[in-house]
Structure 1
């Protein structure tokens, strides 16, 4: 069975930067926490915890020491609260997410509705809403747009969403006779991984998507692959692979989300090659 890796897969710059910051913080003698999981990869979060970088569910859980802001960012008031309490804050917000936050604030200042395209429960989206203000509305797709949109309307998007979802929301707004101001804040690394995964999924008999089940960008990769290849399998690690999935397959593709380190991808590749 021939195992083919996607041209673009695995950790992006923003995740690598956040991990480097966390690893540097380990060298300090102070207690170190991340506000929520640093990245959406359970295996990596477990490794960080074992090395002294623990997850705090909220600012109230940290009394002293170092707090690392997760790669997904936070609401402005959360950041202000941490600093007011005298905690050492390391901001590991992905630069692309920080750009999306600035875009949300610019749209807020226009005075109308800010439509945030993304998952309402995702930490990045919560942070975007914090910058977008009280008139922000979150939609996962065009069907969730509210009946009334106060003009002017601005649109910003979670950095790990697909271009297709953004475009469908924008077209639905235009269909109402409203021309929105659109900030396409989908990051380049996300687009690269999505396009690369789609190409590979259309060329192989089966494909494995590696990453955290709680990862939005990896979930989107799985959805894209599933649309091109019925035998698409989403796993967090090599231990989840089942030989029966690949019966009769001559080629198997492997791709991974932006929060999946190279060693986790390699373990999956080696396991597949051994089948």
Structure 2
């Protein structure tokens, strides 16, 4: 009888400081802030967590109009400054759970614009974090995700660059290299979060050794999707799941090493559930690293 596979969790996986902080603030608000307590947009990009928060008494409002009273929690991704001003004008109690590392991007964007640079934000257009960054740029910013996005832009002589915290170093380097051929000065503030870099590096290392990779986290989470892309490039049998119930025994047939990683918006309990389910599906793997 073949031995059960080894299950190894990446050295860096799951919730980062900013997400853990936001979750803690939300649970504290549910217990003590003026009711009703609602997040303005999903607190983090993880549908399971949003559902769990709802069960804990933290609702979800997509707009301020859906939160006419009580408290609003600003999501970890941040918002444009005008939204917080308007919430306070309406008499709502504002609990700002914006990740401190995202606030660092806001300050960098403001500083570069104040210094006269045209701002380039390397990130996903329409992403809540990017929208918040744009709100701190006084209308002098453009969002790009690849060098191709620069082709239609009328660039100024002096360009400043910030980057969405969950982007890859490769994406930033590619855009900066393209800018250097077109402008006189490029000033880069590398605002990629160290937690993102750690998760990407450890996922890549594990995927390079694994027979199967499981990436746990919200399918609407940019940083989790990037982990899945990184793993897929090194391990063809990569599967991105939100919940342990999605796991399929057929994925693990013949596997010797099963790797597990998770996005920065994935709580430890969700990783543990996935590992436990993999053990069940593979005949009780007992060598879990």
Q: TM-score, normalised by structure 1?
A: 0.98
Q: Does 1:15 align with 2:19?
A: yes
Query: 1:241 deviation in Å?
Result: 0.7
Q: CA RMSD in A?
A: 1.0
Cα distance per residue 1:208-241 (max 9 Å; x no partner): 0000000011011011111111111100011111
When Rg is computed on C-alpha atoms for both structures, the one with the higher figure is 2
Distance in 2 (alpha carbons) for counterparts of 1:153 and 1:204: 42
Equivalent residues in 2 for 1:113-124, closer than 5 Å: 113-124=118-129
1:137 to 138, 142, 156: 142
2:95 to 90, 110, 131: 90
Distance in 1 (alpha carbons) for counterparts of 2:68 and 2:141: 32
Question: SS of 1:196's equivalent?
Answer: helix
Equivalent residues in 2 for 1:124-273, closer than 5 Å: 124-145=129-150, 146-273=152-279
**Structure 2: any 5+ residue segments left out of the alignment?**
283-289
Q: TM-score, normalised by structure 2?
A: 0.93
Q: Does 1:47 align with 2:46?
A: no
Map of 1:5 onto structure 2: 9
Question: SS of 1:132's equivalent?
Answer: coil
Map of 2:28 onto structure 1: 24
Cα distance per residue 1:98-139 (max 9 Å; x no partner): 001111111111233210111111100000000012121001
Cα distance per residue 1:158-216 (max 9 Å; x no partner): 00000100010000001224331101000010000000000000011110000000001
Distance in 1 (alpha carbons) for counterparts of 2:89 and 2:183: 45
Distance in 2 (alpha carbons) for counterparts of 1:174 and 1:27: 52
Aligned residues: 275
